[in-house]
A and B are shown apart, each in its own frame.
Chain A
Amino acid sequence: MPGIEDLYREIILDHYRTPRNRGELAPPAVCTEGNNPLCGDDIRVYLDVADGVVRDVKFSGQGCSISQSSTSMMTVAVKGKTIEEVRAFVRRFKHMLTLSEDGESVDQSINLGDIEALQGVVKFPVRIKCATLGWNTLLEGLDEATK
């Protein structure tokens, strides 16, 4: 059995206890909602996109330590990036969680930084949905913001 410490790394618990970019953004920022039917968690991601760049991002909602910290780290990572950079970053993240269907489109040179701590989630397959909830909600927001 994988050790619980592989899951609850200190950086993850830090983002859980002190989430970054928690809050809301008023329209015209887009808001998308994601639900995890497994545990009833829901997350809203607010995205302010202008000139192809994520100017600001915030999140609200309730969830377990993994979904909350993963979303918190996500917001830190994507703020200020271009939409293309964000999409590449999400692909790299999902690839780390072995969810990427197409390895070739993943830019392995992208440094995930602290987010690497979430790699331990792979050993707890049930929790992968928790880790990706905020990220999938972000992708929906990007679609909304760019349509």
Chain B
Amino acid sequence: MTVAGVNTVLDAAVIRREFPVVTSEINGKPIVYLDSANTSQKPNVVIDAMTTFMRESYAPINRSAYTLAASATEKYEGARAAVAKFINANSTNEIVFTKNATEALNLIAYSWGRANLQRGDVVVLTHMEHHANIVPWQMLQQERGIELRWVPLTSDFQLDLSSLPTLLTGAKVFSFTAMSNVLGTINPVEKLCAAARAAGALAIVDACQSVPHSPTDVRALGADFAMFSSHKMCGPSGVGVLWGREELLEAMPPFMGGGNMISEVRLDGFKCAELPAKFEAGTPPITEVVGLGAAVEFLNGVGMANIRQHEIAMSSYALEMLTSRFGDDITIHGPRNPELRGATFSFAFRGIHPHDLSQVLDQSNVCVRAGHHCAKPLMKIIGANATARASFYLYNTTADADRLADALDSASDIF
């Protein structure tokens, strides 16, 4: 179908009606929500699934025999099965619910890392990582004396793979993002996983920015671990997913200790529960997991391939429109080819500080993030202290991109 001259496979103008915040107004003016790389808005089906669950079915999971509890457990585990299918995992044992992707990365660094990494062992990261895929490894570096190596960037915002074989030599782990939350760059995940495997290193994929926006098949990727957050994929905050190959999860020591993660506790010790409960200590975010299940169902209904096509069309439109309208006044830090990037644009505009820019855009209800996007090393490398970032999702239309441009124009009037 066609929206304002752009060919797209899904009708964002219809889809957005399912998102109450996206279609709401502040001070009589519509909201232009362009911060989905930060966190996405929620469709009615997710909101309804959660409220209905709390109204009608809420109960503890995994520990009570009564009907209500059994039904809550079924819904919770149903969501796990939906997530497993969504990313083509081998089994539900490979799906661990965490607080978010950050906790999943910490879980790996803490549990797998402490069991397997010694002084001098090498972990390879990239210059485009989010703090969540940097700091847990730096914590391990401080504690264990592991060595961190970094894959640099090329001038066109891709990973510089020329040095990869050298960097991976002798490495135990290669942990990288599937898509940069700042640059929008989509990395060649399968290729990177293959390189890790060839070097005998574990491949960990931070899939936070990719799973919400494109089809994911963890088996085809050839990864060992991947993680993502519910709140970026139309689900609620408070729950994330760690996927790991079963034999790896099986061999790992537990992360947090407590209820649910044990099969036996005596005064002289404990035995872990089977997967995935082994990594889910304490009462989990039950309602949120149910909400995530509804989000997965919603995304399946729209079709992940359609979402990807829509975002390529949005990228194409936004890049062309912003460049033709503002020329050299706008600098977009990221790839120009829409096929090689997600619809997340970090930019500098007419020398206006991003924080001031976002404040002025807010006058037009245009919601963009300003700052370092939890990627300070990357910001330093691209020579920006901060950027403004506009990110599009399945509910954004070309009209949103136009409103962003109009609001940018008004910022020039002040500064």
Task: Tell me the A residues contacting B by CB distance below 8 Å.
Answer: 1, 4, 7-8, 13, 38-42, 62-66, 124, 127, 130
Residue pairs across A and B with CB atoms within 8 Å: the count is 45
The main secondary structure of chain B at its interface with chain A is mixed
Residue B187 lies at the interface, judged by CB distance under 8 Å to chain A: no
- When the two chains form their complex, are residues A39 and B386 in contact, meaning their CB atoms are under 8 A apart? yes
Partner of A38, one of B363, B371, B385, B415: B371
Using a CB–CB cutoff of 8 Å, the interface residues on chain B facing chain A are 26-27, 353-356, 359-360, 363, 370-372, 376, 379, 385-386, 414-415
Kindly list chain B residues whose C-beta atoms are within 8 Å of the C-beta of A42.
385
- Whether the pair B372, A64 counts as a contact (CB closer than 8 A) is no
User: A62 to B385, Cβ gap below 8 A?
Assistant: yes
Give which listed residue, A1, A40, A63, A65, contacts B415 with CB less than 8 A. Answer: A65
Q: Does B372 lie within 8 Å of A40, measured CB to CB? A: yes
Instruction: Look across to chain A and name the residue whose beta carbon is closest to the beta carbon of B353.
Output: A64
- A41 and B355 CA atoms in complex are apart in Å by 10
Using known A-B contacts A4-B363, A4-B414, determine if residue A40 contacts B371 with beta carbons closer than 8 Å. Answer: yes
B359→A127 contact, CB < 8 A: yes
- List 29 contacting pairs A-B, 8 Å CB cutoff, sorted by A: A1-B26, A1-B27, A4-B359, A4-B360, A4-B414, A8-B414, A13-B414, A38-B371, A39-B355, A39-B372, A40-B371, A40-B372, A40-B376, A40-B379, A40-B385, A40-B386, A41-B385, A42-B385, A63-B353, A63-B355, A64-B354, A64-B356, A65-B353, A65-B356, A65-B415, A66-B356, A127-B355, A127-B359, A130-B355
Give the shortest distance, in Å, between A142 (CB) and chain B (any CB): 26
| Interfacial chain B residues near A1, Cβ < 8 Å | 26-27, 363
A-B pairs, top 7 by smallest CB distance, nearest first, are A40-B372, A64-B355, A64-B353, A40-B386, A39-B371, A62-B385, A39-B355
Residues of A within 8 A of B363 (CB): 1, 4
| A57, B208: Cα distance in complex, Å | 45
How far apart are A126's CB and chain B's nearest CB, in angstroms? 8
B216: min CB distance to chain A, Å:
31
**A8 nearest in chain B by CB position:** B414
